[in-house]
Chains A and B, each alone.
Chain A
Amino acid sequence: MTRVHWFIGLLALLVVVSAVTARAVDPDKPAEPAPARPTATAQPADPAKPAVAGVENGAKAPTFSLPDVDGKTHSLAEAAGKWVVLEWTNYDCPFVRKHYDSGNMQDLQRTFTEKGVIWWSICSSAPGKQGHLPPETWKERMAAQKVAATAVLLDPTGEVGRLYDAKTTPHLFVINPEGVVVYQGAIDSIRSTDPADVAKAIPHVRQVLEAGLAGQPIPEPTRTTPYGCSVKY
């Protein structure tokens, strides 16, 4: 090996070492706080593998509490008397991108939170899997795409996701002020990742919320097949 080779090798080593050290002490990326244990009404028998429960329309939505990206805990019990939307999310899933890049999701969030609806985006991606982000990254990405949800709730154990049997991102549940599930399924009627389809689709969740807030009967369909990426439990 020539002297030049040695020099390049040393330089490369230096770069790697400095990158690793920088990562370890990066002040912009604080160590991820241990996620608060979610509490759910249905306790799984094996905590390592939470039970898949699922919810029925017309039945009481199972209560839960989860921390948001700031560590503040939100509980379904505290939302009693209000309309609630649960939106399972994974910001890197192409189907979720469709609805955020087109602005459709933020528009729904803004429209209905302004009318008093509690809108929670829930991420059940396990650590190391797509969609699981450190809290700081969550905040950056929420700000960058002007998220208008009430809060983004973190469910890295997947316990609440399995409680509702959330299958896809997005997968939406609408709960009325009495705490009863009135809609579950897809955000709209066109299963695709193409933002151009948003305007052509039947906006199921929008229709359910508009009718519900106006005191009208919830329009059919009240249950649709959700479409999206699998939830990365």
Chain B
Amino acid sequence: MRVCLSIWLMVLGTMLALAAGAGPLLATGLPDTVETEQVRLQLISEATGMAPGQPLTVGIHMTFKEGWHAYWMNPGDSGMPPTFTFTLPPGFQAGEVQWPFPTRLPGAGEVIYGYEGNALFLCTIQVPPSVVPGERHSIRMDVSGLLCSADACLPFEAALQLTLPVTAEPPARDERWQKLFAEGRHRLPGTPAGWVFEATATPDQKYRIAITPPAGQSVPGTVHFFPFTSDAIKPSAPQILEPPAEGRPATLIVERGFADPGPTLKGVLTGAGGWGPEPIAGWGAVEVSIPVVTR
């Protein structure tokens, strides 16, 4: 009985695998949404169509089920970032995927950098001028990665596809996703105009990151540094923000990882209250490339 069932499952599995393998050939029939017990993945477009020669912003929206998380490009102490692969019609070009800044998720004896709740990864696709109004074109994204809870880690992978019409006029916004795109942009690290960051690698295995705001502004109340590379700092060590004192700017003290300090420390600085003023007011994070002096 059990053997029979196993054989049937194998046959069914083979058929499903064949169907999945045939996907790229057929280039149709792929869903825009895949949902598992751990995550819901949806490919969305900011506009209802595409115009010749114009950029088109799409996003992969991940909604994590309670208790599950995915990882930032530097996953921290464990885990693995997702990978995104676009398959586009001839002449279309995908830009870099823009990653939302992560949150620090402490686990048992370790800290990972990732996402809980939901995350939107944005990407701008350049539509070639050669497309003709009335045509329809498909954007395919293959996404894979790792999802973990406190109890388990599971791989995930999905092939998602969106088909949009070419319009002569600039296409209308897709009202369903405006809020998501607005929130998604809010979670991208900004560019810190006028701020000065300087790091000193000290003999006690720390980085002291001096943060000088532009005139009239102040350093956010809580600041956390997330490096782009995995062994630059110790993810599980607390980071301490020393308020500015006489002759010294606010300083974030971060415990170094075992990688030797390089000339620059690259990553994202998050800060409650943002790195204002306009045009980046409210941005919760800035992308930084901090010169390092070793002492």
Residues of A at the B interface (CB closer than 8 Å) are 52, 92-95, 128-130, 158, 162, 165, 167-168, 191-193, 223-233
Give chain A's interface secondary structure class: loop
Say if the beta carbon of B258 comes within 8 Å of chain A.
yes
Chain A residue contacts of B110, Cβ below 8 A: 167, 230-231
Chain A residue contacts of B109, Cβ below 8 A: 52, 162, 165, 167, 231, 233
B151 touches A192 (CB 8 A): no
A130 touches B151 (CB 8 A): yes
Q: In the complex, A167→B151 CA distance in Å? A: 14
- Given A165-B109, A225-B257, A226-B78, 5 more pairs with CB closer than 8 A: A94-B146, A129-B152, A227-B78, A231-B108, A233-B109
| Residues in B87-133 with C-beta less than 8 Å from chain A | 107-110, 112
Residues of B at the A interface (CB closer than 8 Å) are 77-80, 107-110, 112, 146, 148, 150-155, 230-231, 257-258
The verdict on A94 contacting B154 (CB below 8 Å), with A225-B231, A229-B78 known, is yes
CB distance from B40 to the nearest CB of A (A): 20
Q: In the complex, A192→B145 CA distance in Å? A: 9
Give chain B's interface secondary structure class: loop
A193 touches B230 (CB 8 A): no
The verdict on A223 contacting B153 (CB below 8 Å), with A167-B77, A229-B79 known, is no
CB distance from B64 to the nearest CB of A (A): 16
A223 touches B258 (CB 8 A): yes
Q: Specify which of B78, B230, B231, B258 is in contact with A230 (CB 8 Å cutoff).
A: B78
A230 touches B151 (CB 8 A): no
B108 touches A229 (CB 8 A): no
A94 touches B78 (CB 8 A): no
